[in-house]
Amino acid sequence: MTATKRPALRRWTRREYARLIDHGFLHEDDPIELLDGLLLVKEPQHSPHRTAVLLVAKALERAFGDGWFVQTQSPIALGRRSEPEPDVCVVRGAPRDYAAAHPRRPALVVEVAQSGLRVARGRKAAVYARARIADYWIVNLVDRVVELYREPARPGPARQRWGYALIETLGADAALTPLDAPAAMVRVADLLP
């Protein structure tokens, strides 16, 4: 009996991903994002998910104020093989600052997760940590909490892949302070639908 060979996994670059869109194989509005070279289907936009995205964006616009841009479900460029579209992210500047290229250094990334909770905690957290994003939040709609991820940590004896050294779960009665907006307080309850 011969062992079955495992199919080869094809990892795409951001440049190849852009060419797939340019040549019409993918449409820029397809629910797909590039994470670590893999084309992944994004989480469906059910009403609670969409409502949470809008609530998070509004709360972060208030928290960060002038000099910051809050974008929703738009691409960010993270290395050669990742172009995720986080539900919400905060970047310095204004929308026109990113007319020629996607933001590369977001101050905060937020994913709203229900069916995609495993991906948000796993593959997405690893990609964001490797990109040295110091402040990553998951609005966990299943448990109605916010998971706070900080202190990106490289692989080593304690971990197989990139991740975060500090992970904290905050209930609806708690508040968070974004690292790049230390004077702001964001209530978890304000982020939940």
- Enumerate the domain spans of the chain: 43-191
CATH number of 43-191: 3.20.20.80, 3.40.50.720, 3.90.1570.10, 3.30.1360.70?
3.90.1570.10
- Paired with 39 in beta bridges are 34
Q: Residues with Cβ < 8 Å from 119, sequence gap 6 or more?
A: 40, 43, 113
Is residue 49 within 8 Å of residue 31, measured between CB atoms? no
Q: Can you give the pLDDT at residue 109? A: 98
Q: How far is CA 18 from CA 21, 28, 86, in A?
A: 5, 9, 18
Q: Residues with Cβ < 8 Å from 191, sequence gap 6 or more?
A: 52, 55, 56, 59, 139, 146
More confident residue, 34 or 1: 34
Give the Cα separation of 64 and 92 in Å (integer). Answer: 10
Cβ-based neighbour number of residue 191 at 10 Å: 26
Residue 60 has pLDDT above 80, yes or no: yes
Q: Can you give the pLDDT at residue 2? A: 60
**What average pLDDT does the structure give for the chain?**
91
| Backbone φ, ψ for residue 48 (5° rounding) | -60, -40
Give the Cα separation of 130 and 152 in Å (integer). Answer: 7
Residue 172 has pLDDT above 90, yes or no: yes
Q: Can you give the pLDDT at residue 134? A: 97
Q: What is the DSSP letter of 148?
A: E
> pLDDT per residue over 124-167, tens digit each?
999 999 999 999 999 999 999 999 999 999 998 878 889 999 99
- Token pair belonging to 192: 């939940």
More confident residue, 187 or 33: 187
Supply the pTM of this predicted model: 0.87
Which segment of 3-7, 28-32, 80-84 scores lowest on mean pLDDT?
3-7
Cβ-based neighbour number of residue 30 at 10 Å: 13
Residue found under tokens 């929703």 = 72
Q: What is the DSSP letter of 74?
A: -
How many residues does this entry show for the chain? 193
Which segment of 32-36, 63-67, 89-93 scores lowest on mean pLDDT?
32-36
Q: What is the DSSP letter of 26?
A: S
Give the Cα separation of 5 and 15 in Å (integer). Answer: 29
